[in-house]
Amino acid sequence: MSSAPPAQVPFPNLVAMMVRRSDRVSDLIFSPGRPPQVELLGKLEPVPAPGWEMLTPEVTAAIARHLVGDNATAQKALVDDGAADVAYSIPGFSRFRVNVFFQRGTHAIVMRVIPMRVPTFDELKLPPALRDIPGLKNGIVLVTGPTGSGKSSTLAAVVDLINDTHAVHVVTIEDPIEFIHGHKKATIHQRELHRDCPSFSRALRSALRQAPKVILVGEMRDKETIEIALEASETGHLVLSTLHTTDAAKTVDRIIGVFPKSEEQVIRTRLASSFQFIASQRLLPRADGTGRVAAVEVLRSNSRTRDYIEKGGGDNEGKSLLDAMRDGGNDGMQTFDQVIEQLVRRRVVTLAVGLSYATNAGNLRIELADFQG
């Protein structure tokens, strides 16, 4: 197996060159028939380098072999599933979450840049209500949103705040490990899927015997993981995790929907009593072109939201939760459209962008009828 793909510029040097293109590079992309590319502020840009002017299927296959290395689990996933997740690092420079996959019979690679330093609450400009999370004794906190919306960064900032303020045991289960947390007040053990543990569900079950106060699960992917997360939250643990859902109401629907219809009421009752926060994120391009800004919807546990989740609302359930968030400003709750309205009024994003990312563009347009954009 090749230790590095053939090229004039060694692969780690090429990666470093691509990352240095800008401090806002989010992903590196290697695709046959294209030069190496970076995603910068949501757009792809080529990064020409000696020997890498145009990638061939043979070169991307060599890159894939280099990145997968002797990781037997990733090798098997690539054969069985056509895609594999691995971690890659250049010591002292940067770390990456890598997905190697097949397309049209050839290899392609996407490398997500992971900052070496854990981001802080202030840097991410997260809603102040989320600062209450480290003080929670138990329950479930979910950060949701599409791929690339900053879920991992938000959870890392939450864990870092716990690390700064509470002398507790934290266990994380990640695929792969992204941000590295050093021990501060907390003692943090980070487990990587397929290297330290075989699955989220089995690692989560094991964590219940490892005396943590806080458990971070990289993603609640299946019924078994959600079931154990609920159990953990009910037995005195604070569980942090993510879901690929677009807003708080759909997150509730997704969790309940993975269980049989006969179990719906039981799951509603358990979720209503267990959840503490659901924070959903969307990244909007800034009006000045300097990057993206996060809009974060916050659903918080209170008597009204617990009641809505437990009793359900049929077709009106999402509207009920939306109303609760809209009216819950004193508890730190907010809807996407409330946040986007303020971003538009402050001219952080354009009206057109705000409407395109809104949950209800028609209602937002009415709210902004007085705005002179």
Do 218 and 305 reside in the same domain of the chain?
yes
Q: What angle do CA 209, 212, 217 make, to 5 degrees?
A: 90
Phi first, then psi, for residue 307 (nearest 5°) are: -65, -45
Torsion 127-129-133-134 (CA) sign: positive
Q: What is the mean pLDDT of residues 98-117?
A: 94
Mean pLDDT of the chain: 93
Distance in angstroms (rounded) separating the CA atoms of residues 299 and 247: 9
- Assign 116 a pLDDT band (cuts: 50, 70, 90): confident
Do 213 and 189 reside in the same domain of the chain?
yes
Token couple for 53: 């002017």
Point out the domain boundary residue: 60, 92, 114. Answer: 114
Do 75 and 138 reside in the same domain of the chain?
no
pLDDT tens-digit profile of 259-299? 999 999 999 999 999 999 999 999 999 999 888 899 999 99
Residue 237, domain member (yes or no)? yes
Do 84 and 230 reside in the same domain of the chain?
no
Do 176 and 322 reside in the same domain of the chain?
yes
Residue 143, domain member (yes or no)? yes
pLDDT at 175: 86
Point out the domain boundary residue: 114, 148, 183. Answer: 114
Do 246 and 206 reside in the same domain of the chain?
yes
Distance in angstroms (rounded) separating the CA atoms of residues 342 and 95: 35
Do 53 and 141 reside in the same domain of the chain?
no
Residue 364, domain member (yes or no)? no
Instruction: Say if residue 188's pLDDT is above 70.
Output: yes
- The answer to whether 28 and 15 are in contact (CB under 8 A) is yes
Q: Which residue type does 33 have? A: G
Do 143 and 245 reside in the same domain of the chain?
yes
Return the percentage of the chain with pLDDT > 70, whole number.
Answer: 96
Instruction: Say if residue 6's pLDDT is above 70.
Output: no
Instruction: Say if residue 326's pLDDT is above 50.
Output: yes
Q: What is the mean pLDDT of residues 14-23?
A: 94
Do 272 and 208 reside in the same domain of the chain?
yes
pLDDT at 48: 84
Strand, coil or helix: 31: coil
Do 80 and 229 reside in the same domain of the chain?
no
pLDDT at 7: 46
Which domain CATH number covers 95? Answer: 3.30.450.90
pLDDT at 1: 46
- The answer to whether 317 and 308 are in contact (CB under 8 A) is yes
Residue 56, domain member (yes or no)? yes
Spell out the residues 6+ positions from residue 227 whose beta carbon is closer than 8 angstroms to its own: none
Distance in angstroms (rounded) separating the CA atoms of residues 243 and 268: 17
Residue 368, domain member (yes or no)? no
Point out the domain boundary residue: 81, 114, 147. Answer: 114
Residue 89, domain member (yes or no)? yes
Residue 260, domain member (yes or no)? yes
- Assign 255 a pLDDT band (cuts: 50, 70, 90): very high
Structural domain span for residue 33: 11-114
Which domain CATH number covers 288? Answer: 3.40.50.300
Do 45 and 165 reside in the same domain of the chain?
no
Q: Say if residue 176 is preceded by a cis peptide, omega within 30 of 0.
A: yes
Instruction: Say if residue 194's pLDDT is above 90.
Output: no
Do 92 and 217 reside in the same domain of the chain?
no
Total number of domains in the chain: 2
- Which neighbouring-strand residues pair with 98? 86, 111
Q: Which of 28-32, 85-89, 126-130 has the lowest mean pLDDT?
A: 85-89
Q: What angle do CA 215, 219, 220 make, to 5 degrees?
A: 90
Residue 185, domain member (yes or no)? yes
Q: Which of 96-105, 279-288, 310-319 has the lowest mean pLDDT?
A: 310-319
